[in-house]
């Protein structure tokens, strides 16, 4: 009924779709960031301290992931995981301002996306984390060992607390760019904000306004994330340094 | 047979190489309780490597290291535990940058010796008092001068109550005006009976407390003896030459420490 409308504000008639799209984008982003961080930290530690056997494995993983397009990674994981995962959905229904809203948390496609985004991000986060680990002087780990601490304890209590503070400025690149990368999921039909915008555009032909609106949302989101991390960085500063 | 005076540290024929580079070529010496041994020699002669071999942070290829009779080269010993009995003080301090002075000192007590937080803090404060830094306990390393940082480093080693402390050129990264306060602290702990191996070119310190001085060059002990031997009648030309150069190379700091007359 809104086909061919010329009033750009009519995109807001579809606010519920934009909302569920936004929730999906943030949901994927959150998972990708957390998985990327945990896997990335493990990779960074393995690459740095893994020795002759594990270190090259971590290095290879990082280089392969960073060296291939995410689209290829998405298709690969999609074709490996989609069928074994089966058909099921975990979702929630509620009514908001007279609209029935369905938020889907998990299904096979969403898991494919979370795994892809998380594993992809882990390779980048690993490199930021490794840079931060390298910036902690090696002498401190030696000093910890000279006190009788094991190398693992030294890494845990001396290297990581410093590396995790130092990584924040470079890590915030990944944290603030990652929301943009999630739009790739629309390719396999996950209803993120970009996919919803595309559908609204298809219905109304208001492609331009709806994409501009989504762009504005991303700009605001990314600046908020940067600001937040900046504050955290300042709060965790080591006095005197 | 019971050995009443078993050495605290006994190093026997230590060999260490990095690839083709032979760094230590059969070093042996031992220390009794409360002894202070000064090791000196030109840059690259293997002094730091020797200290890292002693606490097995960088194990030697051959030789033996005994700490109060326990062989550290033995495959079955718990090296972490034994290392907690060997203190180490570093040229570049190597303090934990994210921890306050007091936490730098108490960390080992808590994590290695398993002390409660309160007891560890109390012990750490005592150690900081011994290096005259109790008033800087809550400062972070970057808020301290080099001399103060090194004294925290010494307190960190002291607090563990080790059987011996190894010092690797503890004053050579310091501005001349900060060297005195560190040497003074080292002199104090030497006089209160700490067993120490000190790599240093501070001859005033050596003269004051060394029971023996060892001159190392190219991974070999070239000459050893009491301080007076070196200052009055060194045998080898190489040592004479090195001692003549020492003030030029490392600065002349004879009057930096107050040496009390023996009672
Ligand atoms: N981890 C290592 N890998 C390779 N070579 C090393 C290593 N550590 C030391 N070396 C080499 O061993 C030799 C002895 O080094 P070491 O640091 O023990 O000398 P040093 O007597 O302490 O010298 P300085 O007075 O300059 O501190 C040097 O040639 C050094 O380059
Ligand atoms: Mg050295």
Q: Which residues, in sequence order, are CB contacts of A110 under 8 Å at separation 6+?
A: A24, A27, A28, A104, A190
Q: What is the mean pLDDT of chain A?
A: 90
Cα–Cα nearest to B64, from B29, B36, B34, B89: B29
Q: What percentage of chain A reaches a pLDDT higher than 70?
A: 98
* Cα-based distances in Å from B171 to A67, B147, B230: 48, 8, 21
d(CA A200, CA A65): 33
d(CA B259, CA B188): 10
Provide the pLDDT for residue A240.
Answer: 78
The sign of the CA dihedral B183, B186, B190, B191 is: positive
CB contact under 8 A, A137 and B111: no
CA-nearest residue for atom 30, ligand 1, is B44
Inside any domain, residue B227: no
Provide the pLDDT for residue B223.
Answer: 94
d(CA A230, CA A227): 5
DSSP reduced 3-state for B10: strand
Inside any domain, residue B125: yes
Inside any domain, residue B25: no
Give the tens place of pLDDT for each residue, A109-126. 999 999 999 999 999 999
CB contact under 8 A, B112 and A148: yes
Q: A18 pLDDT exceeds 50?
A: yes
With cut-offs at 50, 70 and 90, classify the pLDDT of residue A4. Answer: low
* ipTM field: 0.91
Inside any domain, residue B37: no
Name the residue range of residue B106's domain: 96-161
Which residues from chain A sit within 8 angstroms of residue B94, using beta carbons?
Answer: 137, 139-140, 142-143
Inside any domain, residue B79: no
Averaged pLDDT in 10-residue chunks for chain B of 263 residues: 75 95 95 95 94 95 94 92 96 96 96 95 96 95 95 97 96 91 94 94 92 95 93 89 81 64 44
| Domains detected in chain A | 13-235 (1.10.3720.10)
Using CB distances shorter than 6 Å, the residues near ligand 1 are: B 18, 21, 23, 43-49
Q: A2 pLDDT exceeds 50?
A: no
Q: What angle do CA B178, A138, B180 make, to 5 degrees?
A: 10
- What angle separates helix A51-67 from helix A108-135, to the nearest 10 degrees? 120
Which residues from chain A sit within 8 angstroms of residue B143, using beta carbons?
Answer: 239-240
- Map tokens 């800087």 to a residue: B136
Provide the pLDDT for residue A191.
Answer: 82
d(CA A79, CA B231): 80
Inside any domain, residue B134: yes
With cut-offs at 50, 70 and 90, classify the pLDDT of residue A32. Answer: very high
Inside any domain, residue B169: no
Q: Given ligand 1 and candidates B15, B20, B43, B46, which is best to mutate, with the most ligand atoms within 8 Å of its CB?
A: B46
In chain B, how many domains are there? Answer: 1
Give the tens place of pLDDT for each residue, A36-90. 999 999 999 999 999 899 999 999 999 999 999 999 999 999 999 888 888 888 9
Q: A182-186, A194-198, B37-41, B74-78: which range is least confident on average?
A: A194-198
Q: What is the DSSP letter of A14?
A: G
Give the tens place of pLDDT for each residue, A131-167. 999 999 999 999 999 999 999 999 999 999 999 999 9
The distance of B94 to chain A (nearest Cα, Å) reads: 5
**Long-range Cβ contact pairs of B16-21 (< 8 A, separation 24 or more):** B16/B46, B16/B49, B16/B50, B16/B53, B16/B58, B16/B60, B16/B61, B16/B219, B17/B61
The residue-averaged pLDDT of A168-197 equals 88
Cβ burial A230-241 (10 Å sphere, 16+ → b, else e): eeebeeeebeee
B-interface mutation test, from A146, A159, A161, A164, most B Cβ less than 10 A away: A146
Which residues from chain A sit within 8 angstroms of residue B86, using beta carbons?
Answer: 146
Structure tokens at A215: 């762009």
- Tell me, in angstroms, the distance from the centre of ligand 1 to residue A144's CA: 21
Provide the pLDDT for residue B255.
Answer: 66
Inside any domain, residue B150: yes
């Amino acid at each position: 009924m809104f086909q061919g409308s010329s009033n750009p504000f009519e995109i807001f008639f579809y606010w519920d779709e934009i909302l569920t799209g936004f929730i999906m984008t943030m949901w994927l982003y959150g998972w990708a960031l957390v998985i990327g961080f945990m896997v990335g930290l493990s990779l960074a530690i393995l690459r740095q301290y893994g020795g002759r056997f594990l270190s090259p494995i971590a290095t290879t993983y990082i280089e392969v992931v960073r060296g291939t397009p995410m689209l290829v990674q998405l298709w690969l994981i999609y074709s490996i995981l989609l069928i074994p995962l089966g058909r099921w959905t975990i979702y929630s229904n509620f009514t908001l301002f007279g609209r029935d809203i369905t938020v889907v948390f998990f299904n096979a496609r969403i898991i494919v996306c979370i795994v892809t985004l998380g594993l992809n991000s882990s390779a980048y986060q690993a490199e930021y984390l490794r840079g931060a680990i390298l910036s902690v002087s090696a002498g401190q780990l030696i000093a910890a060992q000279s006190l009788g601490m094991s190398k693992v304890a030294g890494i845990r209590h001396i290297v990581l607390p410093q590396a995790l503070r130092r990584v924040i400025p470079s890590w915030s690149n990944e944290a603030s760019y990652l929301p943009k990368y999630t739009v790739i999921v629309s390719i396999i039909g996950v209803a993120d904000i970009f996919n919803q915008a595309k559908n609204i555009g298809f219905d109304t032909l208001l492609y331009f306004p709806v994409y501009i609106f989504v762009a504005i949302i991303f700009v605001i989101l990314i600046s908020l994330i940067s600001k937040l991390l900046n504050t955290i960085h300042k709060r965790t500063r080591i006095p005197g340094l | 047979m019971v050995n009443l005076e078993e050495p605290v540290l006994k190093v026997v024929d230590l060999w260490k190489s990095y690839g083709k580079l032979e760094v230590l070529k059969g070093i042996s010496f031992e220390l009794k309780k409360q002894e202070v041994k000064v090791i000196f020699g030109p840059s690259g002669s293997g002094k730091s490597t020797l200290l890292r071999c002693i606490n097995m942070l960088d194990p030697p290829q051959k030789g033996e290291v005994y700490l109060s009779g326990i062989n550290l080269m033995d495959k079955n010993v718990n090296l972490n535990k034994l290392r907690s009995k060997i203190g180490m003080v570093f040229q570049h301090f190597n303090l934990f940058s994210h921890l306050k002075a007091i936490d730098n000192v108490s960390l080992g007590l808590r994590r290695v010796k398993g002390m409660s937080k309160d007891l560890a803090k109390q012990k750490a404060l005592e150690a900081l008092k011994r290096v005259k830094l109790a008033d800087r306990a809550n400062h972070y390393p970057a808020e301290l001068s080099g001399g103060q940082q090194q004294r925290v480093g010494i307190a960190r080693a002291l607090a563990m109550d080790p059987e011996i402390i190894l010092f690797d050129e503890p004053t050579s990264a310091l501005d001349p005006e900060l060297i005195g306060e560190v040497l003074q602290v080292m002199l104090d702990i030497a006089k209160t009976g700490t067993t120490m191996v000190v790599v240093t070119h501070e001859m005033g310190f050596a003269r004051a407390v060394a029971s023996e001085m060892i001159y190392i060059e190219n991974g070999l002990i070239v000459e050893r003896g009491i301080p007076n031997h070196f200052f009055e009648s060194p045998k080898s030309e190489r040592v004479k030459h090195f001692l003549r150069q020492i003030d030029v190379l490392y600065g002349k700091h004879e009057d930096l420490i107050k040496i009390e007359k023996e009672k």
